[in-house]
Chain A
Protein backbone atom coordinates (compact mmCIF):
# COMPACT_ATOMS: atom_id res chain seq x y z
CA UNK A 1 0.00 0.00 0.00
CA UNK A 2 1.35 3.33 -0.95
CA UNK A 3 0.91 5.79 1.90
CA UNK A 4 1.83 8.75 -0.26
CA UNK A 5 -0.89 10.75 -2.02
CA UNK A 6 -0.60 13.16 -4.93
CA UNK A 7 -2.02 16.09 -3.05
CA UNK A 8 0.33 15.66 -0.05
CA UNK A 9 2.14 18.84 0.68
CA UNK A 10 5.83 18.96 1.38
CA UNK A 11 5.50 18.77 5.15
CA UNK A 12 3.01 15.90 5.06
CA UNK A 13 5.27 13.99 2.71
CA UNK A 14 8.27 14.47 4.94
CA UNK A 15 6.32 13.34 8.01
CA UNK A 16 5.03 10.23 6.23
CA UNK A 17 8.45 9.37 4.89
CA UNK A 18 10.02 9.69 8.34
CA UNK A 19 7.31 7.54 9.86
CA UNK A 20 7.77 4.95 7.16
CA UNK A 21 11.48 4.98 7.61
CA UNK A 22 11.19 4.36 11.32
CA UNK A 23 8.62 1.62 10.85
CA UNK A 24 10.95 -0.18 8.46
CA UNK A 25 13.94 0.39 10.68
CA UNK A 26 12.00 -0.97 13.65
CA UNK A 27 10.91 -4.05 11.74
CA UNK A 28 14.45 -4.68 10.53
CA UNK A 29 15.88 -4.23 14.00
CA UNK A 30 13.35 -6.61 15.48
CA UNK A 31 14.20 -9.32 12.97
CA UNK A 32 17.89 -8.76 13.47
CA UNK A 33 17.57 -9.07 17.25
CA UNK A 34 15.57 -12.28 16.95
CA UNK A 35 18.21 -13.59 14.59
CA UNK A 36 21.02 -12.68 16.95
CA UNK A 37 19.16 -14.30 19.83
CA UNK A 38 19.76 -17.66 18.19
CA UNK A 39 23.48 -17.25 18.68
CA UNK A 40 23.27 -16.35 22.32
CA UNK A 41 25.20 -19.11 24.05
CA UNK A 42 23.08 -20.94 26.58
CA UNK A 43 26.13 -20.94 28.82
CA UNK A 44 25.17 -17.39 29.71
CA UNK A 45 22.39 -18.89 31.76
CA UNK A 46 24.71 -21.34 33.54
CA UNK A 47 24.61 -21.47 37.27
CA UNK A 48 25.87 -18.53 39.22
CA UNK A 49 26.18 -18.92 42.93
CA UNK A 50 27.51 -15.96 44.72
CA UNK A 51 30.49 -17.22 46.61
CA UNK A 52 32.82 -14.72 48.07
CA UNK A 53 36.53 -15.18 47.43
CA UNK A 54 39.35 -13.19 48.91
CA UNK A 55 41.48 -13.31 45.79
CA UNK A 56 40.80 -13.81 42.08
CA UNK A 57 43.23 -16.75 42.21
CA UNK A 58 40.94 -18.49 44.67
CA UNK A 59 37.98 -17.90 42.42
CA UNK A 60 39.91 -19.44 39.54
CA UNK A 61 40.82 -22.40 41.71
CA UNK A 62 37.16 -22.90 42.58
CA UNK A 63 36.17 -22.70 38.92
CA UNK A 64 38.89 -25.15 37.92
CA UNK A 65 37.96 -27.62 40.65
CA UNK A 66 34.24 -27.59 39.98
CA UNK A 67 34.76 -27.97 36.26
CA UNK A 68 36.77 -31.19 36.60
CA UNK A 69 34.24 -32.83 38.92
CA UNK A 70 31.24 -34.62 37.51
CA UNK A 71 27.69 -33.91 38.56
CA UNK A 72 26.39 -37.33 39.59
CA UNK A 73 22.78 -36.58 38.75
CA UNK A 74 23.25 -35.25 35.23
CA UNK A 75 26.39 -37.11 34.37
CA UNK A 76 27.37 -35.20 31.27
CA UNK A 77 27.68 -31.96 33.14
CA UNK A 78 30.31 -30.88 35.57
CA UNK A 79 29.64 -29.38 38.96
CA UNK A 80 30.05 -25.82 37.77
CA UNK A 81 27.49 -26.18 34.97
CA UNK A 82 24.84 -28.21 36.66
CA UNK A 83 21.61 -26.89 38.06
CA UNK A 84 20.89 -30.07 40.03
CA UNK A 85 20.38 -29.50 43.76
CA UNK A 86 23.10 -32.04 44.52
CA UNK A 87 25.55 -30.14 42.33
CA UNK A 88 24.79 -26.99 44.32
CA UNK A 89 25.37 -28.89 47.56
CA UNK A 90 28.67 -30.25 46.29
CA UNK A 91 29.79 -26.81 45.11
CA UNK A 92 29.02 -25.62 48.61
CA UNK A 93 31.17 -28.44 50.01
CA UNK A 94 34.05 -27.57 47.69
CA UNK A 95 33.77 -23.92 48.72
CA UNK A 96 33.70 -24.71 52.43
CA UNK A 97 36.68 -27.04 52.16
CA UNK A 98 38.57 -24.34 50.29
CA UNK A 99 37.76 -21.79 52.96
CA UNK A 100 39.18 -24.21 55.52
CA UNK A 101 42.44 -24.05 53.62
CA UNK A 102 42.39 -27.55 52.14
CA UNK A 103 44.38 -28.37 49.04
CA UNK A 104 42.84 -29.41 45.73
CA UNK A 105 44.00 -32.96 46.33
CA UNK A 106 42.37 -33.08 49.76
CA UNK A 107 39.07 -31.84 48.36
CA UNK A 108 39.13 -34.27 45.45
CA UNK A 109 40.04 -37.15 47.79
CA UNK A 110 37.17 -36.19 50.06
CA UNK A 111 34.70 -36.46 47.19
CA UNK A 112 36.24 -39.61 45.73
CA UNK A 113 35.96 -41.29 49.16
CA UNK A 114 32.20 -40.74 49.01
CA UNK A 115 31.30 -40.98 45.34
CA UNK A 116 34.16 -43.00 43.88
CA UNK A 117 36.34 -42.31 40.86
CA UNK A 118 33.16 -41.70 38.90
CA UNK A 119 33.10 -38.12 40.13
CA UNK A 120 36.34 -37.43 38.28
CA UNK A 121 36.19 -36.49 34.63
CA UNK A 122 39.80 -37.59 34.32
CA UNK A 123 39.87 -41.14 35.60
CA UNK A 124 43.01 -42.28 37.45
CA UNK A 125 45.21 -44.90 35.80
CA UNK A 126 44.49 -48.27 37.40
CA UNK A 127 43.72 -51.83 36.37
CA UNK A 128 40.12 -50.99 35.44
CA UNK A 129 40.98 -47.93 33.36
CA UNK A 130 44.19 -49.20 31.75
CA UNK A 131 42.38 -50.10 28.53
CA UNK A 132 40.87 -46.64 28.43
CA UNK A 133 44.24 -44.94 28.75
CA UNK A 134 46.32 -47.28 26.62
CA UNK A 135 43.63 -48.20 24.06
CA UNK A 136 44.25 -45.23 21.75
CA UNK A 137 48.02 -45.75 21.92
CA UNK A 138 47.68 -49.43 21.05
CA UNK A 139 45.33 -48.53 18.22
CA UNK A 140 47.80 -45.95 16.92
CA UNK A 141 50.66 -48.44 17.15
CA UNK A 142 48.72 -51.09 15.23
CA UNK A 143 47.66 -48.57 12.58
CA UNK A 144 51.24 -47.41 12.05
CA UNK A 145 52.39 -51.03 11.89
CA UNK A 146 49.76 -51.79 9.27
CA UNK A 147 50.69 -48.68 7.31
CA UNK A 148 54.39 -49.59 7.24
CA UNK A 149 53.52 -53.11 6.19
CA UNK A 150 51.25 -51.81 3.45
CA UNK A 151 53.86 -49.35 2.10
CA UNK A 152 56.54 -52.00 2.04
CA UNK A 153 54.25 -54.35 0.17
CA UNK A 154 53.45 -51.68 -2.44
CA UNK A 155 57.15 -51.01 -3.02
Chain B
Protein backbone atom coordinates (compact mmCIF):
# COMPACT_ATOMS: atom_id res chain seq x y z
CA UNK B 1 0.00 0.00 0.00
CA UNK B 2 2.90 2.26 0.65
CA UNK B 3 3.96 1.89 -2.96
CA UNK B 4 0.49 2.92 -4.11
CA UNK B 5 0.61 6.07 -2.04
CA UNK B 6 3.93 7.06 -3.54
CA UNK B 7 2.89 6.42 -7.12
CA UNK B 8 -0.33 8.33 -6.66
CA UNK B 9 1.43 11.59 -7.46
CA UNK B 10 3.60 10.21 -10.20
CA UNK B 11 0.84 8.52 -12.17
CA UNK B 12 -1.02 11.69 -13.26
CA UNK B 13 2.32 13.19 -14.21
CA UNK B 14 3.15 10.19 -16.37
CA UNK B 15 -0.29 10.35 -18.01
CA UNK B 16 0.18 14.07 -18.59
CA UNK B 17 3.58 13.55 -20.18
CA UNK B 18 2.23 10.78 -22.42
CA UNK B 19 -0.71 12.86 -23.61
CA UNK B 20 1.55 15.88 -24.06
CA UNK B 21 4.00 13.86 -26.17
CA UNK B 22 1.15 12.45 -28.25
CA UNK B 23 -0.44 15.83 -28.90
CA UNK B 24 2.91 17.50 -29.52
CA UNK B 25 3.63 14.91 -32.18
CA UNK B 26 0.18 15.52 -33.62
CA UNK B 27 0.96 19.21 -34.05
CA UNK B 28 3.92 18.40 -36.25
CA UNK B 29 2.17 15.89 -38.48
CA UNK B 30 0.93 16.86 -41.92
CA UNK B 31 -2.30 14.94 -42.44
CA UNK B 32 -2.83 16.73 -45.75
CA UNK B 33 0.29 15.03 -47.08
CA UNK B 34 -0.98 11.53 -47.63
CA UNK B 35 1.80 8.98 -48.13
CA UNK B 36 1.60 7.40 -51.56
CA UNK B 37 1.34 3.61 -51.78
CA UNK B 38 2.89 3.85 -55.26
CA UNK B 39 6.43 4.46 -54.02
CA UNK B 40 8.69 1.60 -55.08
CA UNK B 41 6.23 0.58 -57.77
CA UNK B 42 6.47 1.08 -61.53
CA UNK B 43 4.70 4.09 -63.00
CA UNK B 44 1.10 3.34 -63.95
CA UNK B 45 0.60 2.58 -67.62
CA UNK B 46 -1.04 5.33 -69.61
CA UNK B 47 -1.27 6.75 -73.08
CA UNK B 48 -2.08 10.43 -73.41
CA UNK B 49 -1.86 13.12 -76.09
CA UNK B 50 0.88 15.72 -75.72
CA UNK B 51 0.05 19.38 -75.18
CA UNK B 52 1.73 20.96 -78.18
CA UNK B 53 0.86 18.19 -80.63
CA UNK B 54 -2.41 16.41 -79.85
CA UNK B 55 -1.64 13.71 -82.44
CA UNK B 56 1.55 12.72 -80.67
CA UNK B 57 1.11 10.23 -77.87
CA UNK B 58 3.12 9.98 -74.68
CA UNK B 59 3.19 6.81 -72.57
CA UNK B 60 4.88 5.57 -69.42
CA UNK B 61 7.72 4.32 -71.69
CA UNK B 62 8.90 7.94 -71.84
CA UNK B 63 10.23 7.50 -68.29
CA UNK B 64 12.73 4.79 -69.24
CA UNK B 65 16.44 5.52 -69.43
CA UNK B 66 16.63 8.69 -67.39
CA UNK B 67 15.74 10.09 -64.01
CA UNK B 68 12.39 11.87 -64.33
CA UNK B 69 10.70 14.61 -62.38
CA UNK B 70 7.02 14.15 -63.11
CA UNK B 71 5.09 17.28 -62.20
CA UNK B 72 1.29 17.46 -62.05
CA UNK B 73 0.14 21.00 -62.77
CA UNK B 74 -2.71 23.13 -64.09
CA UNK B 75 -3.22 26.79 -64.90
CA UNK B 76 -6.13 26.98 -62.44
CA UNK B 77 -3.89 25.81 -59.61
CA UNK B 78 -2.57 28.72 -57.58
CA UNK B 79 0.26 26.79 -55.93
CA UNK B 80 1.45 25.66 -59.37
CA UNK B 81 2.10 29.29 -60.29
CA UNK B 82 4.06 29.56 -57.06
CA UNK B 83 6.49 26.80 -58.01
CA UNK B 84 6.60 27.44 -61.74
CA UNK B 85 9.43 29.94 -61.67
CA UNK B 86 11.55 27.55 -59.59
CA UNK B 87 10.82 24.71 -62.02
CA UNK B 88 11.88 26.78 -65.03
CA UNK B 89 15.15 27.61 -63.32
CA UNK B 90 15.82 24.04 -62.18
CA UNK B 91 15.11 22.70 -65.66
CA UNK B 92 18.00 24.75 -67.04
CA UNK B 93 20.50 22.41 -65.36
CA UNK B 94 19.20 19.50 -67.45
CA UNK B 95 20.21 17.08 -64.69
CA UNK B 96 16.76 15.56 -64.67
CA UNK B 97 14.08 14.89 -67.27
CA UNK B 98 11.18 17.26 -66.59
CA UNK B 99 7.86 15.70 -67.45
CA UNK B 100 4.60 17.62 -67.04
CA UNK B 101 1.11 16.23 -66.58
CA UNK B 102 -1.43 18.91 -67.36
CA UNK B 103 -4.27 18.04 -65.02
CA UNK B 104 -7.91 18.81 -65.92
CA UNK B 105 -6.99 22.00 -67.65
CA UNK B 106 -7.91 24.10 -70.64
CA UNK B 107 -5.42 23.23 -73.41
CA UNK B 108 -5.29 26.74 -74.85
CA UNK B 109 -4.74 28.28 -71.44
CA UNK B 110 -2.02 25.73 -70.68
CA UNK B 111 -0.15 26.51 -73.91
CA UNK B 112 -0.44 30.23 -73.30
CA UNK B 113 0.83 29.83 -69.74
CA UNK B 114 3.96 27.94 -70.84
CA UNK B 115 4.70 30.45 -73.58
CA UNK B 116 4.30 33.31 -71.15
CA UNK B 117 6.14 31.97 -68.10
CA UNK B 118 8.55 29.53 -69.73
CA UNK B 119 8.34 25.81 -70.32
CA UNK B 120 10.42 23.61 -68.02
CA UNK B 121 8.99 20.37 -69.42
CA UNK B 122 10.47 18.18 -72.14
CA UNK B 123 7.09 16.48 -72.58
CA UNK B 124 3.67 17.66 -71.41
CA UNK B 125 0.91 15.07 -71.28
CA UNK B 126 -2.71 16.22 -71.34
CA UNK B 127 -5.01 14.56 -68.84
CA UNK B 128 -8.24 16.28 -69.68
CA UNK B 129 -10.64 14.27 -67.52
CA UNK B 130 -8.22 13.52 -64.70
CA UNK B 131 -8.51 9.75 -65.14
CA UNK B 132 -4.76 9.22 -65.55
CA UNK B 133 -4.09 11.34 -62.48
CA UNK B 134 -6.29 9.03 -60.41
CA UNK B 135 -4.00 6.13 -61.40
CA UNK B 136 -1.14 8.16 -59.98
CA UNK B 137 -3.07 8.79 -56.78
CA UNK B 138 -3.15 12.52 -57.42
CA UNK B 139 -5.49 14.38 -55.07
CA UNK B 140 -4.32 17.95 -55.41
CA UNK B 141 -1.89 19.73 -57.63
CA UNK B 142 0.93 20.46 -57.64
CA UNK B 143 2.32 17.03 -56.96
CA UNK B 144 5.73 15.88 -58.10
CA UNK B 145 7.00 12.34 -58.51
CA UNK B 146 10.64 11.33 -58.87
CA UNK B 147 11.15 8.27 -61.08
CA UNK B 148 14.34 6.29 -61.52
CA UNK B 149 15.84 5.17 -64.83
CA UNK B 150 13.70 2.03 -64.82
CA UNK B 151 10.52 4.09 -64.60
CA UNK B 152 9.89 3.22 -60.95
CA UNK B 153 8.30 5.79 -58.66
CA UNK B 154 10.79 6.56 -55.91
CA UNK B 155 9.46 9.67 -54.22
CA UNK B 156 6.42 11.90 -54.10
CA UNK B 157 6.44 15.54 -53.19
CA UNK B 158 3.09 17.11 -52.34
CA UNK B 159 2.66 20.85 -52.75
CA UNK B 160 4.84 23.39 -54.50
CA UNK B 161 8.57 22.79 -54.80
CA UNK B 162 10.70 25.49 -53.21
CA UNK B 163 14.44 25.86 -52.75
CA UNK B 164 14.23 24.25 -49.33
CA UNK B 165 12.46 21.07 -50.43
CA UNK B 166 14.63 20.89 -53.55
CA UNK B 167 17.94 21.14 -51.69
CA UNK B 168 16.85 18.90 -48.82
CA UNK B 169 14.93 16.12 -50.52
CA UNK B 170 14.75 16.21 -54.29
CA UNK B 171 18.28 17.13 -55.30
CA UNK B 172 20.10 14.50 -53.18
CA UNK B 173 17.67 11.80 -54.33
CA UNK B 174 18.04 12.73 -58.01
CA UNK B 175 21.84 12.68 -57.67
CA UNK B 176 21.66 9.26 -56.04
CA UNK B 177 19.37 7.93 -58.76
CA UNK B 178 21.68 9.26 -61.48
CA UNK B 179 24.31 6.79 -60.30
CA UNK B 180 21.98 3.82 -60.47
CA UNK B 181 22.28 1.61 -63.56
CA UNK B 182 19.60 1.78 -66.24
Contact = CB atoms under 8 A, between A and B. Distances in A.
Interface string B124-138: 000001110011110
Interface residues on B, range: 10 to 19
A89 B104 CA distance: 11
Contacts of B130: 85-86, 89
A116 B36 CA distance: 6
Interface in A62-84: 72-73, 75
Contact of A93 (B36, B134, B136): B134
B139 A73 contact: yes
Contacts of A118: 34-35
Given A75-B31, A75-B32, A85-B104, A114 B137 contact: yes
A75 B134 CA distance: 17
B31 A112 contact: no
Contacts of A117: 37
A72 B32 CA distance: 8
Dominant SS among interface residues on chain A? helix
Given A73-B140, A86-B140, A89-B134, A116 B31 contact: no
B104 A114 contact: no
Interface residues of A, number: 16
B88 interface: no
B79 interface: no
A32 to B, nearest CB: 43
A72 B138 CA distance: 9
Interface string B7-34: 0000000000000000000000001101
A114 B143 CA distance: 14
Given A72-B139, A85-B104, A90 B134 contact: yes
Contact of B35 (A85, A113, A116): A116
Given A90-B134, A93-B134, A115 B140 contact: no
Interface of B: 1, 4, 31-32, 34-38, 104, 129-131, 134-137, 139-140
Given A89-B131, A116-B137, 7 more contacts: A86-B139, A114-B134, A114-B135, A115-B34, A116-B35, A118-B35, A153-B1
Interface of A: 72-73, 75, 85-86, 89-90, 93, 112-118, 153
